Amino acid sequence: MLRRFRWFAYGLIAVALLAWGGYWLGEGGMQRAGVSVPGAVSVGGPFSLTDTTGKPVTDATYRGRWMLVYFGYTFCPDVCPTELQTVSAALDKLGPDANKIVPLFITIDPERDTVATLADYVKLFDDRLIGLTGTDAQIAAAARDYRVYYAKATPKDSTNYLMDHSSFLYLMGPDGQFRALFRPGTTAAELADALRTRLQAS
């Protein structure tokens, strides 16, 4: 994610949080890591994509386990690798409880992120990480449901374009419903603590 865009993304989420208004503040609101949002607010939803083994999957494929969802792309120079390392480290800290969580990396660059490209990429971070790609329409639908912003950045000197994209981790419960949002820069320890708390409360 480009730096100038990062502020734009923060702006977007700030507007969204304001729109959600007193709800989340009244519900205990901001926690040390992870933002609570009431069930009435729609984040996430059904998706239909292809996993890194080439198998068609939907959100229902992972029902019964927690989904930790991140949208990004394999050519990302900075933020995506950092966030995926954080996810991997947080899962390590959780120990056996990590088995209750499915970490998903959904590409917002399906043009380049084929099944094979994604499969190679996620392995660099964690064997548990599942990459998901799809058609432009499938990706657009999933991103819209998760309120993810993404757009191709105009290439200048390079033939390789970049993607601007918002960078949040979404925790979905075993019922598929949204539970928490984690800001970029959340540390592995913060993420692990927040996940442990959520898992124990369920």
Binding site for Ni ion (CB under 5 A): 1, 72, 76, 79-80
- Tell me the C-alpha distance between 17 and 13, whole Å: 6
Token reading at 25 = 């503040």
Nearer to Ni ion, 72 or 134 (CB): 72
User: What is the closest distance, in whole angstroms, from the C-beta atom of residue 169 to Ni ion in the complex?
Assistant: 12
Sign (positive/negative) of CA torsion 31, 143, 3, 128? Answer: positive
Pick 76 or 87: Cβ nearer Ni ion: 76
For Ni ion, the nearest residue by Cβ is 76
DSSP class of 151 = E
The minimum distance between CB 162 and Ni ion, in angstroms, equals 8
Residue with Cβ nearer Ni ion (110 or 173): 110
Structure tokens at 190: 């913060």
180: Cβ contacts below 8 Å, ≥ 6 apart = 34, 35, 36, 37, 170, 171, 194, 198
The residue count of the chain comes to 202
Enumerate residues 6+ apart whose C-beta is below 8 A from 29.
Answer: 35, 36
CB of 22 to Ni ion, least distance (A): 32
Q: Which is nearer to Ni ion, 107 or 138 (CB)?
A: 107
In whole angstroms, the minimum distance from the beta carbon of 202 to Ni ion comes to: 30
**CB of 66 or CB of 168, closer to Ni ion:** 168
What the block records as the tokens of 37 is 């949002």
Minimum distance of Ni ion from residue 2's CB (angstroms): 9
- Comparing CB distances to Ni ion, the nearer of 13 and 199 is 13
């890194």: which residue's tokens?
Answer: 52
Between the alpha carbon of residue 13 and those of residues 16, 20, 115, 146, the distances in Å are: 5, 10, 30, 12
Nearest distance, CB of residue 13 and Ni ion, angstroms? 16
Structure tokens at 144: 């819209």
